[in-house]
Amino acid sequence: MLHLDPAQRRLVIELSHLDHPVVMESRYQRDVTTSLLVERQGPPPGAAASTAGIRPSRRSRWLPALALLAPSMIFLVAFTYWPVVRVIGESLLVGRFAGQGVVGLGNYQRLFADPHFARAALNNALYAAGTIVPSLGLALVFALGLQASNRANAILRTLMVLPLLIPLVAAAALFSFILLPGEGLLDFYLAKFGIGMINWLGDPDLALGSVIAITVWKNTGYYMLFFLAGLAGVSQDLLDAATIDGAGALRRFRSITLPMLGPTFGFVLPIALLNALTQVDHVVTMTQGGPSDATNLLLYYIYQQAAQNYDTGLAASATVVSVAVLLALSFFSFRTLERSIHYES
Amino acid sequence: MLAVGGAAFFWAVPFAWMALASFRPGAPADIASLTPAGPFGFGNFADAWHSGNFPLWYLNTVLVCGGILAVQVVTISAAGYAFARLSFPGRDLLFIMFLLQLLLIPALLIVPNLATLVSLHLYDRLLGIMAPYFASAFGTFLMRQTFRAIPRDYEEAAMLDGASIPRLIWHVLVPLARPGLTAFAIVSVTAHWNEFLWPLMAASSPSTQVLTVGLASFASGSEAGSAWGVVAAGTFLVAAPLLLLFLFFQRRFVSSFVFSGIK
């Protein structure tokens, strides 16, 4: 795994197209980088215990630990753990009339009977697939294409990373114009090819695709950074040996590069999954879930029920379902991650 | 290779349009053109600045990002040390519990979180926007790794001199952990500068709007009037600080993003 350290440094140096030589990171910086990457891709089981070092009696360590963790725990309890308990409670509380609540599954019955929720869940699945597959695929293609270190590539990589720096609502503002029917940038240039006005965000058949395109534009550069780091860790000796043995570029990619990127995929996938559930800012500002629910996503549905319809029961039960799906998928992709480590080692 | 290069240029088209349109005052008929003839000027920026409340939005955003970071530095240093150096029962389980925060973002738990803010009298206050982020699982993780990479000699020397644990963390380890903290600061500020949904939910009055929330209301107004150059200028104003910082400190930003992964 140590090979990822030079990878990191190379990436860092390449991306900064500075004229003067780049000052190396301090020793600690490199240590942190290395240990993080190793940790990310699965810590060795005994590592924590073996490095824990000085440990007098257990009792004497309890109090300091408690005191040091308390500041964090207060906020984690208030805004992470307690909300989960509370939202489960809210979701099970039905018919709160005159201060009287009855415990039951009524909210879930209403939720699963709500066609808007079904549509939001379906849309979200399409949104997840539609954003993750192209953005990871493109990120890999861009990483492969812009991997070699030269001035032009450094500039192109910078261009790819820029969308990561701006808020999704800023991207939404730009794309509101780009996708504007008729006068917008896209239609302006499509007209030169004789293609007429297209209502990118107003057509129920195109709206979700347009929202997906914005997300892909926003995230691809981010994922590309991880693939660049991963590619720099692919053994050049192995690739050279394969070339000598007569393996073509495609064969080298399929048999060497791709398998060695396993951990990178395993690491990026959970991030991409989380993004697919939580990145709905552009839906809020551009489409409000429309037209006719075509771009309604789970988090937007929750937001609608909570902040617009004031239907706490429906919002709470939708939250519980979304969180459950998120935890299950994260667990699943974590398992995939573990397996990809075994593959490499 | 050439195709990939071309595509990367294509990727920058929205930025190119933003930069061009924001400097084209009035409402030119070819506002969509990427090769305009001019005239150019700063009129759109003046219009955007006057129709939105940018000074307040900048101030609120800086306060939110700075406030979150200031508290986080304390909470993550303390917790990071506990996980890195102390051994106590339930440590590994507790660490996993910390990591749950990475998934359960505040906007997702809007229903219970809003109720919590109301009962703490934090609704519609900047402090309420910040509070859920005062603890950071990612920051704790990062500090744990950073502290582990620091040789124990420093601590042992300090302990022999009779330093207490808080003194040890704050005066010995945190200064040594500066690179890790810088990386965390970049990731934290970028994430909160760009965040939209939670600040939108946690506040309602114009006085508590941050840049992203302000931009959304400002842009919808200007879009209704088809003032696209003004929309571009407003977007430019919101995005410029981080874009500039990125161009100047690209190396630091990229390495931070790569070994952060999680925002």
Task: Tell me if A272 is assigned to some domain.
Answer: yes
Residue with the two structure tokens 């506002």: B31
For A30-82, the pLDDT digits (tens) are: 333 333 333 334 344 444 444 444 444 445 568 888 999 999 999 999 999 99
CB A22 within 8 A of CB A16: yes
Query: Which tokens sit at B6?
Result: 């071309």
List all residues 6 or more positions away from A15 whose beta carbon is below 8 Å from its beta carbon.
A154, A157, A158, A161, B250, B251, B254
Q: Which residues pair with A100 in a beta bridge?
A: A97
Q: Is A213 contained in some domain?
A: yes
Helix (H) or strand (E) holding A102: strand A100-103
* pLDDT band of A116, cuts 50, 70, 90: very high
pLDDT (tens digit, 9 = 90+) per residue, A291-300?
889 999 999 9
CA distance B167 to B183: 23
Report chain B's mean pLDDT, rounded to a whole number: 88
> Least CA distance to A88: which residue of chain B?
B112
* B111/A90 CB distance under 8 A: yes
Q: Scan for tokens 């988090």, then name that residue.
A: A299
CA distance to partner chain A, nearest, from residue B108 (Å): 7
Instruction: Provide the CATH number for the domain around residue B51.
Output: 1.10.3720.10
Contact B60, B130 (CB under 8 A): no
- Whether the CB-CB separation of B258 and A11 falls below 8 Å is answered with yes
Q: Is residue A156 part of a domain?
A: yes
Q: Which of A124-128, A305-309, B207-211 has the weakest average pLDDT?
A: A305-309
**Contact criterion met (CB below 8 Å) for A266 and A340:** yes
In a domain, A152, yes or no: yes
Question: Which pLDDT belongs to residue B262?
Answer: 42
Residues in CB range of A338: below 8 A, 6 or more apart: A42, A266
- Output the pLDDT for position A62: 82
Mean pLDDT, residues A245-265 taken together: 86
Asked if A68 reaches chain B (Cβ–Cβ under 8 Å), the answer is: yes
Q: What local confidence, expressed as pLDDT, does residue B172 receive?
A: 87
Q: Is residue A217 scored above 60 in pLDDT?
A: yes
How crowded is residue A169: how many other Cβ atoms within 10 Å of its Cβ?
26
Q: What is the pTM of this model?
A: 0.84
Looking at beta carbons, which residues of chain B come within 8 Å of A13?
251
Question: A213 has which bridge partners?
Answer: none
Q: Name the residue among B191, B211, B189, B213 with its Cα closest to residue B200.
A: B213
Say if B19 falls within a structural domain. no
User: What whole-number distance in Å separates Cα of residue B120 and Cα of residue A82?
Assistant: 14
Rounded to the nearest angstrom, the minimum Cα separation between B172 and chain A is 14
Number of folded domains that form chain B: 1
- For the stretch B232-252, pLDDT in tens is 999 999 999 999 999 888 888
For CA atoms A102, A107, A110, A112, give the dihedral sign.
negative
pLDDT at residue A99, rounded to an integer: 58
Minimum distance, in Å, between the CA of residue A241 and any CA atom of chain B: 23
Q: Which two structure tokens, joined as six digits, stand for B249?
A: 């400190």
Contact between A326 and A274 under an 8 Å Cβ cutoff? The reply is yes
Q: Which has more confidence, A18 or B76?
A: B76
Q: Is A58 on the interface with B (CB under 8 A)?
A: yes
Is residue B172 a part of any domain in this protein? Answer: yes
Task: Report in angstroms the alpha-carbon separations of A86 from A89, A143, A177, B96, B101.
Answer: 5, 44, 41, 21, 16
* Rounded-to-integer distance, Cα B217 and Cα A144, Å: 40
Q: How many domains does chain A have?
A: 1
Q: Looking at the domain assignment, is residue B1 inside a domain?
A: no
For residue B13, the chain A residues in CB contact (below 8 A) are 178, 185
The first and second tokens of residue B222, run together, are 């200007």
User: A121 CB near a chain B CB, below 8 Å?
Assistant: no
Single-letter amino acid code for the residue at B223: E
Q: For A103, which DSSP code?
A: E
**Chain A with chain B: Cβ pairs closer than 8 A:** 337
Q: Which range of residues forms the domain containing residue B154?
A: 44-260
Residue B145 lies inside a defined structural domain of this protein: yes
**C-alpha to C-alpha distance for A82 and A168, rounded to whole angstroms:** 29
Residue-range definition of the domain harbouring residue A211 = 105-167+204-344
Distance (Å, whole) CA A234 – CA A228: 10
The rounded distance, in Å, linking the Cα atoms of A45 and A338 is: 12
Residue type for A115, please?
P
In this complex, which of B11, B110, B231 lies closest to A306 when CB atoms are compared? B110
A174, B74: Cβ pair inside 8 Å? no
Q: How confident is the model at residue B180 (pLDDT cuts 50, 70, 90)?
A: confident
Which one of A127-136, A245-254, B251-260 scores highest in mean pLDDT? A127-136
Say if CB B214 and CB B54 are below 8 A apart.
yes
How far is residue B8's CA from residue B192's CA, in Å, rounded to a whole number?
Answer: 27
Q: Are the beta carbons of B111 and A315 separated by less than 8 Å?
A: yes
State the Cα–Cα distance between residues B23 and B26, nearest whole angstrom. Answer: 10
Element (DSSP H or E) covering residue A204:
none
Rounded to the nearest angstrom, the minimum Cα separation between B40 and chain A is 19
How many angstroms separate the CA atoms of A262 and A268, rounded? 10
Residue A334 contacts residue A270 (beta carbons within 8 Å): yes
Task: For residue A288, tell me if it sits in a domain.
Answer: yes
Query: Considering the domain boundaries, does residue A190 fall inside one?
Result: no
Give the β-pairing of A100-103 and A93-97: antiparallel
pLDDT band at A209 (very low <50, low <70, confident <90, very high): very high
Q: Cα separation of A313 and A322, whole Å?
A: 14
Taking 60 as the threshold, does the pLDDT of residue B95 lie above it?
A: yes
- The reply to whether A29 falls in a domain is no
> Would you tell me how many other CB atoms lie within 10 Å of the CB of residue A233?
21
Are residues B137 and B101 in contact, defined by beta-carbon separation less than 8 angstroms?
yes
What lies within 8 Å, CB to CB, of A227 at 6+ separation is A139, A140, A142, A143, A144, A261, A264, A268
Domain containing residue A136: CATH number: 1.10.3720.10
In-domain check, residue A326: yes
